[in-house]
A and B are shown apart, each in its own frame.
Chain A
Amino acid sequence: MSTEQHAGTSLNAVLQAGQRAMTPRPSNMDWLTPVRERGAASVAEMPLPSRKDEAWRYTSVGFLEQAEYQPLVEGPFDAIQLSDIDDLLLPQSQGLRLVFVNGYLATAVSDLAHQQDGIQVRSLAGGLGDVSVDLRRHLDAIAEHRHVFAALNSALMSDGALIHVDRDIVSRAPIEILHISVGMEQPGISHPRHLIVLESGARAEITERYACLGDARYFNNALVEVALGADSELLHTRLQEESPQSQHLSDLQVRLAERSRYRLVMAALGGAWSRSDVRVSFDGEGAEAELDGLMLARDQQLNDIHLDVQHKSAHCTSRETFKGILDGKGRVVFDGRIVVAEDAQKTDAQLSNDNLMLSRSSEVDTKPQLEIYADDVKCSHGTTVGELDANMMFYLRSRGIPHARAKQMLCQGFAEEVMAHIDNEPLRAYANKLLTARLAQTTE
């Protein structure tokens, strides 16, 4: 009890410091005031997650006691030039790129050409012009505050991308949201907030990345809301490439209208502590979701994915394929929950979680859960945990490939089932290169 008290105080301190840092607020953010107030009220009421909560049983937030996180204010980092971040940029990018530095839109390094009629791209802080009523009404209407960090995000959200795709509009090129964290003297906390709305029949591709310059210490507390209209389709790729010193929490909440299609590929490669909550709600019949994820947990890394897939409507399909690679004392937590409501007949849901352990001292806590209340459904789940295959290793080495490289190739092969789902070629190449580099650090 006493530890909860202490930590609770520290989140309230984060809230208060954040609120102080935000005053005076620019008046073009006044429309957010009710959202912020709701968020602040929840922060005061909600307890800090503890190991007694089932959803946080293997994921301690004890790191909060180790540092005093300072609010990150829009500051000197707008001096960042393209040449500072060129290692992070995708080649041949044809679309919009919104770059956020320590949580704030940095127009100097963003690429705002390639605008397309029917696609409204704004930023929360108003840096890209007025935010339409269409967008405003969706903000905080999709997400639920399932934990105190989501509430904290609502109370303190600094900036973020707001994207609205009109009815039947097909985006010509991927839109990229790139977060870059730059180390400050004190570890900072940032609350990125994004909203993606596709009207009926629209189609878009959005890439969301969390990267860093150097080995910065910081805590990214992101919340992303996605609403897909009837018959719309979104390809969503998330690449978490945070610094090995950082904490990363992202709460992704998706609502699917009838016959919409949502494809998510996520690769969580960085962070000392990383947790992604993904909630998908099937609000209309005949919708489809394909969720693929890769988690890398090197020595001393914790990588947690919590899925909450709510099949509320009939004739919907979901595929969840998640893979973990662990090394040293790395830890992976996978909680894959699928709930099929009584009315959600003809649901087809298949969930799998496969893990590759490169060391005996790593740990996987995996829990696939199917809760089925309908009687005419096709659902399955499966989990595996294995080591590197000795036959495969010998085969590669007998061809002249050194031990460490053979190990990397097999890990990469294991990850490929997820990575191959990244349609955007330059992004896939970038993600694979990043994975190779991070795997190289595991093996020798």
Chain B
Amino acid sequence: MRLSIKNLRAEIEGKEILRGLDLDVGPGEVHAIMGPNGSGKSTLAHVLAGRDGYEVTAGEITLDDQDLIELAPEGRAGLGVFLAFQYPVELPGVNNTHFLKESLNAQRKARGEPELDSVAFLKLIREKMALVSMKPELLKRPVNAGFSGGEKKRNEILQMALFEPKLAILDETDSGLDIDALRTVSDGVNALRSPERSIILVTHYQRLLDYIEPDFVHVLAGGRIVRSGDKTLARELEQKGYGWLTGEDEAA
């Protein structure tokens, strides 16, 4: 799996947020995208997942030579793109088990694989739940409704474990988590690292990267990648803040 983003420009309601972004993510690599608030990190995550209202005006996004921009969100999910939301959405009245099974089967169907029946699904979900130490009763509740912040994030990582995506984009997964929850969630993500799975970590803080060690770190500012490096770049940012880089961007 190789994700290739070239000269990507995207706008929301006519306002340009991404201004010529380039990024390459190879098989099994973990890339951290860092940057100040408003730099376009979340926009990038949503553009990759295909959200309506995020309009790509120039550039290309390909996943193994498949053009993603043309695909609806469900089509991208079928190809193995997964977005873990910063604010997982509550779905009143939609049972969590039903949602997970329906999602998995929709993706399997898109790939031409047989759908799982209820028994096979329950067996699988129990196995995956152990990975994120999720309380079984959360399966019986409506999706994310009344879940604590930590439970919502666990539910996201549970989906990542269940769907086994080729490309997982984790949008501010550490936000709103206490240390214990952060550790559980990170352990879950680390267990899912594999040569067949690439991961993009979108995060404002270095903290998450203490638990999930990236192969590459990029700084996004003003809608472009302004600096790339290895994990030491994250430490440098922790010490110096973003000012020295965004200033550099303005000067350029």
Contact = CB atoms under 8 A, between A and B. Distances in A.
Contact of A401 (B52, B74, B83, B85): B74
Instruction: Give the interface size class of chain B.
Output: 20 to 34
A401 B103 contact: yes
Contacts of A398: 49-51, 73-74, 76-77, 82-83
Interface string B62-81: 00000000001110111000
Given A400-B107, A402-B74, A395 B92 contact: no
Contacts of B94: 409-410, 412-413, 416
A167 interface: no
Contact of B91 (A402, A410, A420): A410
B6 to A, nearest CB: 23
A115 B56 CA distance: 68
B212 interface: no
B233 interface: no
Nearest to A409: B94
Select the residue from A390, A397, A399, A410 with max chain B CB neighbours within 10 A: A399
Nearest to B159: A399
A417 B74 contact: no
A391 B89 contact: yes
A392 B77 contact: no
B93 interface: yes
Contacts of B110: 400
A400 B83 CA distance: 11
B145 to A, nearest CB: 9
A417 B93 contact: yes
A405 interface: yes
Contact of A394 (B73, B93, B103, B107): B73
A401 B89 contact: no
Interface of B: 49-53, 72-74, 76-78, 82-83, 85, 88-89, 91-94, 99, 102-104, 106-107, 110, 142, 159, 163
Nearest to A418: B93
Q: What class of interface size applies to chain A in its complex with B?
A: 20 to 34
Closest 10 CB pairs between A and B? A413-B93, A416-B93, A400-B77, A399-B103, A400-B107, A397-B73, A395-B89, A413-B94, A400-B106, A398-B73
A406 B106 CA distance: 11
A293 B142 CA distance: 20
A403 B73 CA distance: 9
Interface in A377-416: 389-392, 394-403, 405-406, 409-410, 412-416
Nearest to B105: A400
A107 B245 CA distance: 84
Contacts of A414: 92-93
Nearest to B92: A413
A392 B53 CA distance: 14
